Structure 1
Amino acid sequence: MNMPTVAIVGRPNVGKSTLFNRLVGKKLALVDDRPGVTRDRREGDVQFGGLVFRVIDTAGLEEADSASLLGRMRAQTEAAILEADVVLFVIDARAGVLPADQPFAELVRRAGCPVILIANKAEGGAGLGGAYEAFALGLGDPIPFSAEHGEGVGELHSALQATLPEIEEDEDADNPAGRALKVAIVGRPNAGKSTLINRMLGEERLLVGPEAGITRDSISLDWEWRGRRIKLHDTAGMRRRARMDDKLEKLAVSDGLRAVRFAEVVVVLLDATIPFEKQDLTIVDLVESEGRAVVIGLNKWDLVADQPGLLKKLREDCTRLLPQVRGIGVVPLSGLAGEGVDKLMKAVVDAAEVWDRRVSTSRINDWLSEATSRNPPPAVSGRRIKIRYATQVKSRPPHFALFGNQLDALPKSYTRYLVNALREAFDLPGTPIRLSLRTSKNPFDKG
């Protein structure tokens, strides 16, 4: 179904992100007492007392030069207003109507869509005077509200029920093949994640610029590539822990971790001019430990494409530095120039297929017999370790169980051998592989 869209707008620090979190029922948006925490538009699906809609959290509206970061944030918010079916215009009831509210109220009025005026921070009757002042904005009757405490929710529901358009049914909604592939794009600050996503979408949907760390929230976006539905997640740049003194940085990184856990495939975006920094390796290791399919994108490739043999060298470096994801896709691209996006998405779809692959038990045991004959397990205290049986217990990522005797004494070097042999035998490049060792009786164990 095609859901209507509701945009939350207003000055900085009036409680827009707190209202967004309350509507979606999760703490998806970063919230802090400082103004300007939200920079990009952030979207979430809402089911609210029988109402179904998509809500957009926006950056605080501020007057600024269009070329500045604040100006670009304002442009994002204006785009959300034009896209919306309903606008929730939020003021701080305790501060009352400020001069800065007036031009933005005019901006919302010019957009021509229904507006619901919310006088936030009016808990316990506080700020009612400020709520009454809001009549002067010419946006209709204000709803005294507390996003933090949930006061005024019934009145907001009634207002939305009266203004939201009818939902149009989507003929493909029940088609399992139409399920969106969830893809997170992560990396160090300023690797070009938002620029790449803007190029994918074909619009300046996310804030970009030379300033490192512009993105703070993990932003979820719907997209389609070659008829395949994709849900993209842009994330804040992940810094080394020692450099995360600021509370917002810690919040942004944890938000990125949630995006990784939500994703099926994670694109780790590297700056091709300085690839495989220690932090890059740490991020890939994190994604692997979370069990997600992973692809490496070498962004800004146009800056180094004139260096012969560089791609081959970087792929060899990847194999050497990241043995835990041997065979991982490494794709050169330029988010700014729009080059390599198709190759990147092909690698993403291939990685998802490998991540979801299942192998029959008979094939696994044929492989086990050959692998242990070629390189038998070592002996412990004069008694050789025996691996008698193997099976795949689940996929996403591929997880195999081995049964036998004394498997708890199997050295790590031998389990690495088995993982690499599984990867090669069943064509499982780049994906995390899990191996469980179980010393127990099973139907194939004859003693």
Structure 2
Amino acid sequence: MAAPIASTSISPAAAYEPGRYRSALTLLASLFFMWGFITVINNTLLPHLRSVFDLNYTQTTLIESVWFIAYFVASIPAAKLIERIGYQKSLVVGLLVMAAGSLGMVAAASLPSYGVTLAMLFVIASGITTLQVAANPYVAVIGSPETASSRLNLVQAMNSAGTMLAPLFGAYLILGRSKGGTAEAGTVLTQAERLADAQSVILPYVLVAAVLVVLAVVIARFPLPAMGAATQRLAKEERRNHSLWKHRNLVFGVPAIFIYLIAEIGVANLFVNFVSQPDIANLTAERAGRYLTLLWGGMMVGRFVGSAVMQRVSAEKVLAFCSIGAFVVMLVTVFASGPTAMWALILVGLFHSIMFPTIFTLGIRGLGPLTEEGSGLLIMAIAGGALVVVQGWLADTVGLQTSFLLTAACELYVLFYAVWGAKPTGAVTEPHVG
């Protein structure tokens, strides 16, 4: 079942006020920044929790799996909330839910408790899901369908700005203030040191909660335009004549998002552990966290560049090029060693940059009045990040470096989608706003 996106008609006057939409998109860009920032704090949080709770790779990646399971579980309830109370109020609720989860992380650190940590991360991710369900299609439908990929890549660049800064924040305030984060690889911590390390997440999450509350107040007071007719739901009787499954670009786009998320999250979550290994870069977790900034920085640069390139080159060609590049550097990561392997893994961020927003916009292309339901399915597919636990299991079973062959396989499906799966069938004329 698709998660519907609530919408209301937009007035003709508002439809031709581009300045009003630029202001709205600028504000929404702050949401993209914050959910990117909070999501990537996990990349420094995971090696920290692995040390605090003495976890293996499977247990460590399970933390991130719980995060992405929230996308599947909370997507439909979030969409129904939007339908019931409206787009703007739902954004406020999502931000407040994220703030509540962030404060819950303070309680988890005070205990400390692995179970409570999982529960609070699920709460934060549920709040992010509410934002994702509405914001991505909102950006995609405002403006010409031909430049939707370019527009979403541009706004997603702000998401990447958040992901680039988060590792520095986490490395300094979490890993840099803990014994496990500053110790050499293989150092065994005492129980007292683990309990002390657990407290280091309190300050970062208090700061995050405060920013989220302020942002919720700003969103509540801002005159956001309503979503346009392009996302209005069809009447039940008219809906019988339409089927999402006639649109090849959506049918293959849902697994493309799902599979791509396995690749992106696997790389990000295991990056610190990978480059910390003696035969790769032999870094402390704190220093490795700083290099993680380069991975996410590459994604930000790639989205800005991709946004410009897609003004002249088709989104499918850009996606195909990036999937081939990602496949090649992942093979280098697996079969090389030392700094070469580390820099290859960093470089994959540049190729991953345009994948999510481009697959998303290609997936909803030509859906017309079915855009809301197709968007819901694509957002639910973000739950693919939960399967990062499979790579955690592979890392425990065949070795961390070899486990990145799973990432390389994911890139091949994205290539298939770019070359064939993204070609629309049964396209509907799409109205657009602005």
Higher gyration radius (CA) = 1
TM-score under structure 2 length normalisation: 0.24
Higher relative helix content = 2
Which structure has more relative contact order (CA 8 Å, sep 6+)? It is 2
Answer 1 or 2: which has greater strand percent.
1
Give the alignment's TM-score, normalised by structure 1.
Answer: 0.23
